[in-house]
Structure 1
Amino acid sequence: MTPADAQGLLRRMFDAAIAAADPSTVLARHLPEKPAGRCIVVGAGKSAAAMARALEQAWPDVDLSGVVVTRYGHMVPTERITVREAAHPVPDAAGEQAAREILQLARSATEDDLILALISGGGSALMSLPLPPLTATEKAEVNRLLLASGLAIDDMNRLRRRLSLIKGGGLARAAGKARLVSLAISDVPGDDPAAIASGPTVPDPTAQQDLSQLVTRLGPSLPQAARDLLLAPAEPAPEFAVDYRLIATPQMSLEAAADVARAAGVTPLLLGDALEGEAREMGKVMGGIARAVAGRGTPVAAPAVLLSGGETTVTIGEAKPGRGGRNTEFLLSLALSLAAHPQIYALAGDTDGIDGTEDAAGAILTPDTLARAAAAELTPSAALAAHDSYNVFDALGDLIRTGPTLTNVNDFRALLVL
């Protein structure tokens, strides 16, 4: 297999992973029975607009109305469902206003109505409605602290649910006795409904947990109102019935990528869809596994591809960081770990098309990445220390730019060993 063939195969696997989570192809088969009356549609996430359009196409004869909120730039045309746009990953006033609209729609439903909640990754920031006395400005500051904290996504969501009127089942409680069905695209390890968009339609399973250790991790910059709410004794989460349907998951996308590998004569090894940890440490670990495949034929013989999903984290220190996302940081660490191994290529990217806050989904790593970086007078080790991985791969022309994919099943990693 030539270098061009290897890179082409990696990209086809990534594209297949994204396509497997496309609402236009997966949503219709998960819809409930059509309602006799009206259907109120609410939702939030990077895929919310695409899900709304897919629903309109699947149910042309149903009385649909409602509001969903998605990230700026993720708008698609709809005819009956209103699409709002808001900021991500730090919430803004537009997201708060959309959340109020959505909550009011849920409260207006009657027992004869069907409420369809379209939930996808990013919904936590996009549908932000802080619990008083926390203000929107303070809630945005909490989000900034969370993004730089290095906390696992589950821990972040424990905190977010406690600080919200709409997360942790708040939307479901507002729906009252109306029938509520959630259709969700999972972007979280383990596909936990309480973690996807911080669980607006499911009870909070951590409602009474002690969060003091997490509060300590966030440090003295945590707004006092947030600190008080997080440390206050919490009421038990009310129980309610939930009809929750996962229409796309990271595992489904990894399996789609594995099918592409098999068709190319490459053995896929799925390492898991819920891998977490520091991006740079994950790069070292994955580098070690890939070298074992190349040198010893274990745990699988080459040609093989190591596939994994989940969400790594990047902990930002005191110094001002450069440009980079968790996937390019992972790849830069992997490059240093592999030390220009001639048999190993890799791709890492976010399936929503945006690696953190940048305009790239991720990047591709080749055996000559370090050599080309040296020729361009770049120092990958220094860039890694400064969280400046984006600029390295940008200078090399190895970034992957898909634009918004309108779905989100979290990160995708593929290490191809020839």
Structure 2
Amino acid sequence: MFDAAIAAAQPALCVPPALPATPKGRLIVIGAGKASAEMARAVERNWNGPLTGLVVTRYGYAVPCERIEIVEAAHPVPDAAGLQAARRILDRVQGLSADDTVLCLISGGGSSLLPLPLEGITLEDKQQVNHALLQSGASISEMNCVRRHLSAIKGGRLAAACHPAKVVTLLISDVPGDDPRDIASGPTVADASTCEDALAIIQRYGIDLPQRVLDVLHSGRGESIKPGDARLAGNEVHIIATPQMALEAAARVAQAHGITAHILGDSIEGEARDVGKVMAGIALQTARHGQPFSTPCVLLSGGETTVTVRGSGRGGRNVEFLLSCAIALRGEVGIYGLAGDTDGVDGQEEIAGACIAPDTLARAWAAGLRPADHLDNNNGHGFFQALGDSVVTGPTLTNVNDFRALLIAPERN
């Protein structure tokens, strides 16, 4: 099912039907995100006319392209390579005409891969902001609101820079609710949020930021491009792959094997450990009482949980969800689970996620591992790797957020 979810969001499948009409002038391809390189390759293979371009992707996610330049940069904390790529992308769209079309390929991860700060803010400041946001427990929507108001390229600014050329944006969504503003912090879409909103988020989570960063927000210099801006008129935005599409693909696999699939939501948020407890409770009620679902069945969900970091472990949110879920299940017979990030990277580890079974806790205790201690230390990856239960996919070349599946198949007496 996890494989099917990833396959459903492959750019080779979803990019070609969304390509724009041939422009009178030039086609310039730009983009950013973990899927951007594979999206660029799909464009090259399905575009008959001339084109040029530049996209930036995460280290290890580049693929060979002939006419579109692929560069790599750091994620989730930005680096100088991303800064240089963002500058070069802005340079590429200077001096265009109304006859030209800019095809912008955006996917999850683009926020960190386009770290061009507003004047008065340094790359080091942006790195500090990103690190603080990742540690804070803020939702992805809240994090991206702050990022939009500190960026010289996000929050519609990239589209404004392309004017008067037409901008066609293809989005692979990795955010709950599929709001284009939140996918890579919306470089080509108008944004109604304000600097005051960003400041409220910073205050809400007690995030400590450099004074010069706060000055940009207090002064209003960080305001994004607002709805109704004439420079964005006539542009197109198309969401070509979503978490819901991936969950539906997984559901079809289950149903093909005689297992009823229930999609509980494609945009579930909250603390990963809390979501894990809730999902375990639903699974236990289903297994023991046939409520709210009859068995056998699989409970599918997506979205993006958060982790408020309190320990010194290796993260990330999917394995934190799964470890909390396993502890709450207490070895219940007939319940199995998998949770992973569809981009192949959960947190900052090159590990997609992990899986659990009724014997997970027993094997952990036999190995001298204390599950609750690992959860308290935010060390889900350390825990599951020690058990040999990590799920490693390598770069998937797409990103439609988290995937969670709980299979409930009680053993018959």
Report the TM-score, using the length of structure 2 for normalisation: 0.95
Q: Deviations over 1:175-205 (max 9, x none)?
A: 1110110001000001000000000000112
RMSD (Å) for aligned C-alpha atoms? 1.3
220 and 303 in structure 1: CA distance in 2 versus 1, 3 angstrom threshold: closer
Q: Deviations over 1:129-185 (max 9, x none)?
A: 001101111111000000000001111011000000100001000011101100010
The structure 2 residue matched to 1:71, chosen from 58, 67, 72, is: 58
SS at match of 2:305: strand
The structure 2 residue matched to 1:144, chosen from 131, 140, 143, is: 131
Contact 2:271 2:305 (8 Å CA) reproduced: yes
Contact 2:149 2:198 (8 Å CA) reproduced: no
The structure 2 residue matched to 1:304, chosen from 279, 297, 300, is: 297
SS at match of 1:387: coil
SS at match of 1:189: coil
> What amino acid does structure 1 have at the position aligned with 2:267?
A
Structural mapping, 1:13-412, within 5 Å: 13-59=1-47, 61-207=48-194, 209-219=196-206, 221-233=208-220, 237-238=225-226, 239=229, 240-241=232-233, 242-317=235-310, 319=311, 321-412=312-403
Q: Name the counterpart of 1:3.
A: none
Deviation at 1:219, TM superposition (A): 3.5
Deviation at 1:365, TM superposition (A): 0.6
> What amino acid does structure 2 have at the position aligned with 1:375?
A
CA distance in 2, matches of 1:108, 1:79: 24
Deviation at 1:95, TM superposition (A): 0.3
Contact 1:215 1:230 (8 Å CA) reproduced: no
SS at match of 2:184: helix
CA distance in 1, matches of 2:258, 2:132: 45
220 and 202 in structure 1: CA distance in 2 versus 1, 3 angstrom threshold: closer
Deviation at 1:343, TM superposition (A): 1.4
Q: Deviations over 1:255-304 (max 9, x none)?
A: 00000010011111111110000000010000001111111212211111
Deviation at 1:108, TM superposition (A): 2.9
SS at match of 2:348: coil
Alignment identity in percent? 57
SS at match of 1:211: helix
Contact 2:135 2:307 (8 Å CA) reproduced: yes
> What amino acid does structure 2 have at the position aligned with 1:78?
C
> What amino acid does structure 1 have at the position aligned with 2:402?
D
SS at match of 1:216: helix
CA distance in 1, matches of 2:244, 2:95: 37
Deviation at 1:88, TM superposition (A): 0.4
Contact 1:130 1:164 (8 Å CA) reproduced: yes
SS at match of 2:191: coil
Query: Number of paired residues?
Result: 403
Deviation at 1:38, TM superposition (A): 1.8
> What amino acid does structure 1 have at the position aligned with 2:148?
R
Deviation at 1:208, TM superposition (A): 5.5
SS at match of 1:165: coil
Mind listing any 5+ residue stretches in structure 1 that lack a counterpart?
1-12
CA distance in 2, matches of 1:143, 1:78: 30
> What amino acid does structure 2 have at the position aligned with 1:15?
D
Q: Deviations over 1:321-368 (max 9, x none)?
A: 111210111110000000000011000000000101112100011010
CA distance in 1, matches of 2:328, 2:219: 45
CA distance in 1, matches of 2:171, 2:198: 27
Contact 1:270 1:306 (8 Å CA) reproduced: yes
CA distance in 2, matches of 1:252, 1:220: 35
Deviation at 1:378, TM superposition (A): 0.5
CA distance in 1, matches of 2:268, 2:37: 28
